[in-house]
């Protein structure tokens, strides 16, 4: 394994590990244990970067198996009451962090079965620490040592999950490279998401907090309408809004974003600024399942309102927003 690469280089070379997953001949080594877990309710365990992976796996589990799923951290796993007739899947890139080892110890002493561990760690090392009745899946090895953001391992795990649950045609042949605008610096970031893109929102939240880029709040479009719009107006000067949009809720999502202060109703002479807004749509994958992890996104309105002020209580007061939200109805599935 080669030394760590600069982050810019790692991002520029993501196509290679993605291609490795698309061509991975051992995908059934992951698919078969996941399908065994899909026959019952299941817990999906992750922390740090793998929390988004666990959320994606839980969503795919429910879509494909029709069984309930819950995402937990290793600490939550350790404090759960005895749960019968439930499977469990643990995600850990190196399987060496004390939390991951603690989760393994929990698996050895509880009744959660089938139990699966998904990791990049060497198979010989895994065999020495994973309980005998826990199925260990070793993904294709990375060619270099990652930094603490674990970008490549998260991409590989997510892509492998989509292929395992959705079939060999669920992934695009080539890793998309969306063109996105430069983000606007802000102390706070509000991420509005549809349920299908919740894993993406989790990944954004994790990276922003780990890097100290911004304090992130994640919520779905309808929960945002239950009072959080008032808090947004009070923090408008220091908050950016990122909207994650996919089908079948694109109409609801875009209508919600349109209710927020708009450029044309805000005067540049106002001293208070409206929240800066971006909306990102996902590129759909072949159903089922609908994947939230596909890294194919493109920018879609509304335009950023940076530098344009809006005075709450006049052109975009909380009462007006509330009336707008009350008129929105989720699109039927």
- Please tell me the distance from the alpha carbon of residue 102 to that of residue 118, in angstroms, as a whole number: 15
What does the pLDDT average to over 286-304?
A: 34
Read off the pLDDT of residues 18-74 as tens digits, 9 standing for 90 and up. 999 999 999 999 999 999 999 999 999 999 999 999 999 999 999 999 999 999 999
CATH 3.40.50.10490 spans which residues of the chain? 7-166
328: pLDDT confidence band, cut at 50, 70 and 90? Answer: low
pTM, two decimals, is: 0.81
Q: Is the peptide bond before 302 cis (omega within 30 degrees of 0)?
A: yes
126: pLDDT confidence band, cut at 50, 70 and 90? Answer: very high
* Burial bucket for residue 40 (CB in 10 Å: 0-12, 13-18, 19+): middle
159: pLDDT confidence band, cut at 50, 70 and 90? Answer: very high
- Please tell me the distance from the alpha carbon of residue 119 to that of residue 128, in angstroms, as a whole number: 14
Distances (CA, A) of 313 to 34, 188, 272, 275, 319: 52, 22, 11, 15, 8
- Please tell me the distance from the alpha carbon of residue 311 to that of residue 291, in angstroms, as a whole number: 39
The domain defined by 7-166 folds into: Rossmann fold (3.40.50)
Number of other residues whose CB lies within 10 A of the CB of residue 37 = 25
311 has pLDDT over 60: no
Which class is 188-326 in CATH?
A: alpha beta
């Amino acid at each position: 394994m080669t030394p760590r690469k600069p982050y810019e280089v790692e991002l520029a070379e993501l196509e290679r590990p993605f291609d490795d997953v698309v061509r991975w001949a051992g995908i059934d080594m992951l698919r078969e244990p996941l399908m065994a877990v899909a026959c019952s309710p299941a817990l999906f365990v992750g922390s740090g970067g793998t929390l988004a992976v666990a959320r994606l796996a839980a969503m795919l589990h429910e879509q494909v198996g029709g069984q309930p799923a819950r995402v937990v951290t290793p600490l939550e796993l350790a404090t759960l009451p005895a749960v019968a007739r439930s499977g469990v899947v643990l995600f850990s890139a190196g399987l060496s962090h004390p939390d991951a080892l603690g989760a393994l110890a929990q698996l050895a002493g509880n009744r959660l079965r089938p139990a699966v561990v998904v990791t990049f760690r060497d198979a010989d090392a895994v065999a020495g620490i994973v309980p005998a009745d826990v199925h260990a899946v070793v993904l294709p090895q990375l060619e270099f040592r990652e930094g603490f953001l674990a970008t490549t391992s998260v991409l590989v795990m997510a892509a492998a999950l989509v292929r395992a649950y959705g079939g060999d045609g669920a992934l695009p042949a080539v890793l998309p490279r969306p063109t996105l605008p430069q983000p606007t610096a802000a102390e706070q970031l509000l991420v509005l998401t549809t349920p299908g893109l919740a894993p993406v929102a989790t990944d954004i939240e994790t990276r922003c907090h780990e890097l100290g880029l911004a304090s992130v709040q994640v919520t779905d479009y309808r929960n945002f309408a239950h009072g959080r719009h008032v808090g947004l107006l009070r923090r408008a000067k220091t908050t950016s809004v990122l909207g994650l949009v996919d089908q079948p809720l694109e109409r609801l999502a875009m209508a919600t974003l349109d209710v927020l202060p708009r450029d044309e109703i805000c005067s540049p002479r106002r001293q208070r600024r409206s929240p800066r807004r971006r909306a990102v749509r996902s590129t759909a994958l072949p159903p089922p399942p609908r994947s939230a992890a596909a890294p194919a996104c493109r920018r879609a309105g509304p335009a950023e309102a940076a530098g344009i002020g809006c005075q709450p209580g006049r052109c975009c007061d909380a009462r007006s927003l509330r009336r707008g939200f009350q008129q929105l109805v989720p699109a039927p599935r």
